[in-house]
Amino acid sequence: REAKNGIRPSLLLTSVALVGCRAILLRIQVENMRVCVCFQAAAALCISVGSFSDPDDLPGLAHFLEHMVFMGSEKYPAENGFDAFLKKHGGSDNASTDCERTIFQFDVQRKYFREALDRWAQFFICPLMIEDAIDREVEAVDSEYQLARPSDSHRKEMLFGSLAKPGHPMGKFCWGNAQTLKHEPREKQINTYQRLRDFWKRYYSAHYMTLAVQSKETLDTLEEWVREIFTKVPNNGEPRADFSHLLRPFDTPAFNKLYRVVPVRKVHALTISWAVPPQVKYYRVKPLHYISWLIGHEGTGSILSLLRKKCWALALFGGNSETGFDQNTTYSIFSISITLTNQGYQNFYQVNMHMSQSSSFFSRIYDEIQKIEANEFHYQEQTDPIEFVENICENMQLFPKEDFLTGDQLMFEFDPQVISAALSPLTPDRANLLLLSPENEGRCPLREKWFGTCYSEEDIPEEWSQRWTGDFELNSELHLPAENRFIATDFALKESDCPDSEFPIRTVNNERGCLWYKKDTKFKIPKADIRFNLISPIIQKSPENLVLFDLFVNILAHNLAEPAYEADVAQLEYKLVAGEHGLVIRLKGFNHKLPLLLKLIVDHLADFSADPGVFNMFSEQLKKTYFNILIKPERLGKDVRLQILEHSRWSVIQKYQAVTKGLTVDDLEAFATGLKAELYVEGLVQGNFTSTVRRRNTNRKTLKLQFQPLSAEVPVLFRVVELPHKHHLCKVKSLNKGDANSEVTVYYQSGLKNLREHALMELMVMHMEEPCFDFLRTKETLGYQVYPTCRNTSGVLGFSVTVETQATKFSTEFVEAKIEEFLASFGERLSGLSEDAFRTQVTALIKLKECEDAHLGEEVDRNWFEVVTQQYVFKRLNKEIEALKLFSQAELVSWFLEHRNTNSRKLSVHVVGFGVEENDPPEPSAGCGPESPDNPPSSSYGEVSELTFLPSASQDATLITDIRAFTSSLPLHPYHKILS
């Protein structure tokens, strides 16, 4: 369950009952929408209370309460009872705390929806919140906070909030941690238990709540259930928390300054922010969305286009995220974030100058945005039920009932006065500048209290302020976007010109490649998905080639960014991905103009070239990208594990070394020529296309690229080592000395298995999820993120358990011992499972696999997996369902114990953070204020070009201290695909 930090999803479904718990029942029957055929039902409840209501002496209490109500109720006292019920019936749940709202949501098989609703409603009727659970769950909140500390986005938010006027709730520490919720309250003799219950009674009141439920039952039935179950939610009659009088919180001397910040990642970034009056009431105009459209435009004549030509910027984002941090009842934020190059960082004030040159607005642009978003709304696809109800219950807090479904999506009316009023405060004298760069290290004496961010504060020089506000000549290269040629106007559904099929059929198959095609007959929308994989033998030849491939894809995307931007804003999505063995091109959107976008991409691919300045810009950026991957414990752990398991895989460290040694633009040109010379192209076209149109477009693509067939087949998998029949441990030190977070993954290799055993492994992990969470997180409080997962490593199966913990609390070897303790207890649990419980879990997994795709993209993703792995088992789900029906409990127990005996092939990977439990000495200051074991340095840019292998106290494991030496002696599995 994670704190809310993102843009909320929003789409439509049918058969929805909406309930306002203020004794008002709101019902909407959505006309002319496809019937939801998924077996899942879902519910979400939004409470108009969040971290703004935290008491000053207990920061993070609202977030903590969101955690605590999950911990059993008077009617259902088991601590993890609700999670266990959902896991047993194929469901999931989550919750999030924002500034002024808290949202809970879950989904489950429809058959168990009413019982799940009753169990869930007890969170809001009579939660237990026993004292023992409080002491343990505060550790989960603390671990969540510790995991967030290395995040630059969270750090920026906390620093930004500290600039608000004294007494404004933006200055509160919304996360909460062990210090604020346990240690300090004990010192001050504050009864956290009683205060938590008081907070629940005061704010978890029915008249603050809105509820959305979705299932295939009739609206009358859903209304009856909701009335029966939720009528018991108490209503205290108290007025809701209101902060709307605390306007203009950032009209302070501290706001209009330049703040230099030391980031955790290697990144140069400039964020320019303004605080404007609250804008939610103008949702029908959406002025900030309109302004961001103009400023964030990336096509010809845009600010970003000009900055890219100067090689000053890589990306630019403008607008308001609509989260509570960016938009609440006291203010709205409009911000512009620019990812700078090294050269752009040196010229950041001139970048600022360019930002002040875009202020015009016209109805033509508004009409265009309105048309694009209306098209998308009218022809939108279903989303997952759990996402839909979450969005609707929050909309019910924000908009009148007639706009619950549309208020956050549509542009209703053009109002120049409203737009002008939102635009008028966006002046240089009201701006806040936040400049992130590693070069700030050592020059930032101040430290933010909660996340330890090192920063400095300085006045914006008068000279620059005058230049911003003066009458300087506008750059002639800047102009408004031209009329968008990619906006679809033909939404007709195409008639099939070949027999319909349930699965894709191969319509082209020759030495240059093959093409799979499926006409959409299920969703019946004027959209399509096109995907190609351009397989080449030269990609995996060396780390240098992998770096050149990354450069090729980045520069190709850069070359496309301007001409393809109009397609992007017209809801035609495209993505270029550097795959393991080929270049993956993905396109989706309205089929009318999709061929136009495909032609544009193929033309740029065929005529690829790299300007030397652009090459140098992306070479520098790639160093930062690899560095930023390596300093994340979870990414480093994955890289180490796959480097051990997959033969001939080049590590991210080897790629970092290659890019650091230096490559030239001539190297890239030679690589690009070689890449395009010999290819095998495999594609999938699915949606509202006829086979004739599809074949014609594919032929044009092949002719334009003019490649030769491969001289030898290129595998799309790695060969995988066969681990020995014993336990091996690879223990490496984290590469960020300012990060306490560790990751422990215990992996059991199963081997070359078939489809039936893959389904058995899925069933076993499904049984494992809830007890794993209960034991390792709830009871042992080892960390916020704990999870088991299935592993399919280039066709070789296995399963693992992962715990993300902190070196300030536990050593990785202690955590591994606890994982082993859990696995031992889980074996006993499996053996004692009743036949009914076993069959219930089997049924739940079958129901999940039987669940119809919610939208075209889900079906395409599943089919594309078969194509890109060259397995082509499009009936995989059906085959797995048939296998599941035949499993016995004894077979499941036997399969698990087989992987846990003395002959098991076990690999543990530890990425060890910095902290007292790992015997680390205190690190020297990173150049800013006081630090402590709970407040380590903001960042520490050490060397990441090699791993530091650590010793182990364990007598049971054989230590790996040289990965290549270890794997060179191991046998290799043959290439393997799970086909039957």
9 by DSSP, 3-state: which? coil
Contact 667, 548 (CB under 8 A): yes
Buried b (16+ CB within 10 A) or exposed e, 966-975: bbeeeeebee
Intra-chain end-to-end CA distance of the chain, in Å: 37
Buried b (16+ CB within 10 A) or exposed e, 698-708: beebbeebebe
241, 746, 754, 761, 823 from 723: Cα distances, Å? 59, 13, 19, 19, 20
CA 841 to chain centre: 28
Q: Which residue is catalytic, options 2, 31, 66, 713? A: 66
210 by DSSP, 3-state: which? strand
Contact 978, 753 (CB under 8 A): yes
Task: Enumerate the β-bridge partners of residue 104.
Answer: 45, 95
Tokens of 434: 């936040």
Whether 850 sits among the annotated catalytic residues: the reply is no
Q: Hunting for tokens 């659970």 — which residue is that? A: 133
Q: Give φ, ψ of 433 to 5 degrees.
A: -115, 125
Environment class of 35 (CB within 10 Å of its CB; exposed 0-12, middle 13-18, buried 19+): exposed
Amino acid identity, position 703 = L
Contact 59, 145 (CB under 8 A): no
DSSP-derived letter for residue 32 is: T
Tokens of 476: 């002639």
Contact 596, 570 (CB under 8 A): no
Q: How many CB atoms lie within 10 A of CB 499?
A: 7
Return the ∠ at Cα 926 (arms to 924 and 929), rounded to 5°.
Answer: 95
DSSP-derived letter for residue 76 is: S
Taken as a whole, the chain contains a residue count of: 980
Element (H, E) at 293: helix 287-295
According to the 3-state scheme, what is the secondary structure of 838-904? Answer: HHHHHHHHHHHHHCCCCCHHHHHHHHHHHHHCCCCCCCHHHHHHHHHHCCCHHHHHHHHHHCCCCCC
Q: How many CB atoms lie within 10 A of CB 834?
A: 9
Residue 883: which region, alpha, beta or left (left: phi > 0; alpha: psi -120 to 50)?
alpha
Taking Cα atoms as reference points, which of 574, 553, 586 lies closest to residue 486?
A: 574
Tokens of 777: 């997180």
Contact 227, 25 (CB under 8 A): yes
Tokens of 750: 């199963």
**Which residues contact residue 391 at a Cβ distance below 8 angstroms, ignoring those fewer than 6 apart?**
8, 9, 10, 11, 408
Q: Give φ, ψ of 50 to 5 degrees.
A: -155, -155
Return the ∠ at Cα 972 (arms to 971 and 976), rounded to 5°.
Answer: 150
Tokens of 664: 């030239």
Amino acid identity, position 392 = I
* Residues 973, 646: Cα–Cα separation, whole Å: 10
Tokens of 772: 């794993």
* Residues 170, 578: Cα–Cα separation, whole Å: 41
Tokens of 38: 């998924």
* Residues 348, 44: Cα–Cα separation, whole Å: 44
Contact 11, 857 (CB under 8 A): no
Catalytic sites, residue numbers: 66
